[in-house]
Structure 1
Amino acid sequence: MTPLARKLLVKPGQRLGLVNPPPGYAERLLPLPDGAEIVDLQPGLDVLQVFVQDRAALDRETAALRSVRDGGILWVCYPKGGRKAGTDLNRDLLWEALGAVGLTGVTLVSVDDTWSAMRFRPTADVGT
């Protein structure tokens, strides 16, 4: 298992969905833990990683966030660097936007030099 897959909490046998990954990103996750696989977007995913460049992209992908199963892992990735990197997203704006749909940010990790990822859980489940 790669350090990146470990950081994203991918476990053996899980199904991982990727939305809008940068070119070559899926290959950087390999090898995955035993039996884990990258699959097309579908309901009931164990882990979902959504990449968004800006607030408009986040708004477009809100429906995809529902593809993660109850108790699953949801990561929303956004460019580091804020306006200097050409994005209108940052940690606080992401937290606010997804809070409006019942999600709370619980963890922030660095994916690489370009991307940060915030893990979200349903607000009702935070603290349990």
Structure 2
Amino acid sequence: MTAPTELLHKLQIQAGTKLWLINVPQGIAEEITAGAEVEPVHEKDAYDGVLAFFDSVAEVEAMAPRILAEMPPDGLLWIAYRTDQAAGQSSGLDRDTGWSPLEGAGWNPVRQVALDEDWSALQFTPEARKKEGSQFG
């Protein structure tokens, strides 16, 4: 097995992880699945985590219930959004806004990483798993 890519390392995705990939740009999908034994799965399959890419609040609102419906309690949830500069205009998504469907279900952002020059990602975790004293933002 080869070493995980830098992107997998940033996202704390381990070899053997079953990921539901949603709207992932082709180049990023290829990097995620190359050499580290990450298995892309479909929505109806059992998965260990989700990596989703969204361009608008409406996409988050539409997909959040589907994502959370089958998310394992210890699952890894990363949501990526375009930076305003890459989008050319505000998408309504940034580090602090656009996540009410997830936050309303008890999932809160705990970590942010830059994936490339166009995309940033937030890791969400359920409130019950949040470490005492940890605070994001």
TM-score norm. by structure 1 comes to 0.85
Is it true that 1:93 corresponds to 2:129 in the alignment? no
Q: Which runs of 4+ in 1 moved over 6 A?
A: none
- Segments of structure 1 that go 5 or more residues without pairing to the other structure are none
Q: Which has the higher strand share?
A: 1
Tell me the TM-score normalized by structure 2: 0.80
State the alpha-carbon separation in 2 of the partners of residues 32 and 101 from structure 1: 34
| Deviations 1:45-70, CA, capped at 9 Å, x for gaps | 21211111011111111123223311
Q: What CA distance in whole angstroms lies between the structure 2 residues aligned with 1:72 and 1:108?
A: 17
Root-mean-square deviation (CA, aligned residues, Å) is: 2.1
Change (3 A) 1:87 1:100: same
Q: Distance in 2 between matches of 1:97 and 1:11?
A: 27
How many Å separate the matches in 1 of 2:33 and 2:38? 10
Amino acid at match of 1:119: Q
Shift of residue 95, structure 1, vs aligned partner = 4.5
Structure 2: 5+ residue stretches without partners: 133-137
**Of the candidates 60, 63, 79, which is equivalent to residue 82 of structure 2?**
79
Percent sequence identity is 28
Distance 2:59 2:33 in 1: 26
Partners of 1:79 and 1:85 within 8 A in 2:
no
The secondary structure found in structure 1 opposite 2:74 is strand
